[in-house]
């Protein structure tokens, strides 16, 4: 079989387009969604208590959502996450919970209150747009957070939720909310380069890393007192999604906008592509691709080290051309992908597609 010998590499560094988020909203322009009836919260923090916080998104971490950027624990111009990894950027003051693509965003993924409290400020009406250049970012000064809300939890504790979908904000200032109350939907408003909700946790006005807790020194080698209500494992590297397509992805945008989610593929397609969209890969990591025909024959294989520096997310692929002499045969084709770091296997997945 004739396999595609060339693989395209697409990278996008979030630090080029993202900046620290503001701590407040300057206006309220609610559109679209109707707010739920006010509720009386039952678990606002009492004096001396450290409240526990739920994740601010209705999903299953590692399956249909991912932490794509952690709190920056380096006080200088460099950046470092709490796991001593690089899955953050300079000055990032929160945690980014991302979803696979804009199609998932359009279907609707709820942003939820992480704890009970009182809504202080909201904003809505900022368009959803994936920022890709510094010039675009400059136009968003003062509204970097996009659509969102700030909630007061009592005794100096606050949470801020950013980048909600335009028209989805479902709460008003002064409303009492419970943990889990829907605040809006995940979006890409403001300074966002992928669909996600950014959560900033503050105590007495200062942003805190919820994976570390209060009064922790800078850096990653510190005693941790996490503020999450349940244990959240560190995931500095992982897979956003993977699949098959009938043409190579044009760039990383085609993956984020979801155009490769369920493309039609058949034995008449010009090419069969098996692609992956991992995050947190580092220079020196090794990607191992295999594409197998229905009879189990390895049609295309590639194993090479990543030469580019650390990136937040990337895409790569392997594939086979459909020719008259060596056509795509009907049946179940399988793609296999491993990401290796030294002797560790960080990602090990298999995907299948049936061609008719």
**Are residues 264 and 210 located together in one domain of the fold?**
no
**Are residues 169 and 297 located together in one domain of the fold?**
no
Radius of gyration of the chain (CA): 22
Per the domain annotation, does 4 fall within a domain? no
Per the domain annotation, does 3 fall within a domain? no
Last residue of a domain, one of 203, 235, 267: 235
Alpha-carbon distance values, 347 to 204, 257, 287 (Å): 40, 23, 9
**Are residues 216 and 254 located together in one domain of the fold?**
no
User: Whole domain around residue 279: which residue ranges?
Assistant: 237-355
Last residue of a domain, one of 179, 200, 235: 235
Per the domain annotation, does 6 fall within a domain? no
Owner of token pair 């009938």: 246
CA distance 84 to 237: 12
**Are residues 224 and 251 located together in one domain of the fold?**
no
**Are residues 139 and 287 located together in one domain of the fold?**
no
Per the domain annotation, does 7 fall within a domain? no
In 3D, which of 241, 306, 320, 263 has the Cα closest to residue 3? 320
3-state secondary structure of 131: coil
Contact 4, 271 (CB under 8 A): yes
**Are residues 141 and 155 located together in one domain of the fold?**
yes
CA distance 145 to 19: 10
**Are residues 86 and 105 located together in one domain of the fold?**
yes
How do the pLDDT tens digits run along the chain, 356 residues long? 333 333 332 333 333 333 333 433 433 333 333 333 333 344 445 445 678 999 999 999 999 999 999 999 999 999 999 999 989 999 999 999 999 999 999 999 999 999 999 999 999 999 999 988 777 888 888 999 999 999 999 999 999 999 999 999 999 999 999 999 999 999 999 999 999 999 999 999 999 999 999 978 899 999 999 999 999 999 999 999 999 999 888 788 888 988 776 668 999 999 999 999 999 999 999 999 999 999 999 999 999 999 875 556 778 899 999 999 999 999 999 999 999 999 999 999 999 999 99
CA distance 348 to 340: 9
Q: For residue 314, how many other CB atoms are within 10 A of its CB?
A: 21
**Are residues 300 and 163 located together in one domain of the fold?**
no
**Are residues 142 and 215 located together in one domain of the fold?**
yes
CATH of the domain at 333: 2.60.40.2550
**Are residues 264 and 336 located together in one domain of the fold?**
yes
DSSP string over 297-326: -EEEEEEEE--S---SEEEEEEEEE--SSS
H helices of 177-331, in order, are 252-256
pLDDT of amino acid 95: 98
Q: Name the pTM for this structure.
A: 0.86
pLDDT of amino acid 33: 33
Per the domain annotation, does 1 fall within a domain? no
Ramachandran area for residue 301 (φ above 0: left; ψ -120 to 50: alpha; else beta): beta
In 3D, which of 8, 68, 58, 56 has the Cα closest to residue 238? 68
Per the domain annotation, does 5 fall within a domain? no
**Are residues 186 and 246 located together in one domain of the fold?**
no
**Are residues 292 and 307 located together in one domain of the fold?**
yes
3-state secondary structure of 138: helix
pLDDT of amino acid 30: 33
CATH of the domain at 26: 2.70.70.10
CA distance 182 to 109: 10
Last residue of a domain, one of 235, 270, 291: 235
């Amino acid at each position: 079989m004739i396999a595609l010998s060339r693989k395209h590499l697409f990278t996008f560094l979030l630090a080029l387009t993202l900046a620290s988020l503001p701590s407040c909203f300057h206006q309220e322009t609610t559109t679209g969604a109707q707010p739920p009836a006010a509720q009386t919260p039952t678990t606002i923090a009492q004096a001396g208590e450290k409240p526990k916080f739920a994740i601010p998104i209705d999903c299953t971490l590692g399956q249909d959502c991912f932490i794509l950027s952690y709190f920056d624990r380096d006080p200088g111009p460099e950046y470092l996450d709490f796991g001593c990894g690089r899955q953050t950027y300079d000055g990032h003051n929160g945690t980014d919970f991302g979803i696979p693509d804009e199609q998932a965003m359009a279907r609707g993924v709820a942003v939820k209150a992480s704890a009970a409290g009182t809504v202080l400020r909201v904003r809505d009406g900022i368009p959803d747009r994936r920022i890709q250049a510094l010039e675009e970012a400059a136009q968003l000064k003062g509204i970097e957070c996009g659509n969102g809300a700030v909630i007061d939890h009592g005794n100096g504790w606050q949470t801020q939720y950013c980048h909600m979908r335009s028209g989805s904000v479902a709460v008003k200032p002064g409303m009492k909310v419970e943990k889990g109350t829907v605040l809006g939907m995940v979006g890409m408003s403001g300074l966002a380069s992928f669909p996600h909700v950014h959560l900033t946790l503050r105590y007495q006005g200062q942003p805190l890393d919820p994976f570390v807790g209060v009064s922790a020194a800078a850096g990653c080698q510190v005693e941790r007192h996490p503020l999450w209500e349940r244990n959240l494992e560190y995931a500095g590297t992982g897979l956003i999604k993977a699949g098959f397509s009938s043409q190579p992805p044009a760039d990383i945008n085609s993956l984020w906008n979801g155009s490769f989610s369920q493309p039609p593929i058949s034995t008449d397609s010009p090419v069969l592509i098996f692609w992956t969209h991992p995050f947190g890969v580092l220079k020196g990591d090794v990607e191992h691709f295999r594409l197998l025909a229905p009879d189990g024959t390895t049609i295309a294989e590639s194993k090479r080290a990543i030469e580019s520096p650390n990136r937040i997310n990337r895409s790569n692929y392997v594939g086979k051309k459909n020719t008259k002499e060596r056509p795509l045969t009907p049946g179940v084709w399988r793609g296999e992908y491993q990401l290796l770091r030294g002797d560790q296997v960080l990602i090990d997945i298999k995907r299948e597609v049936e061609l008719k």
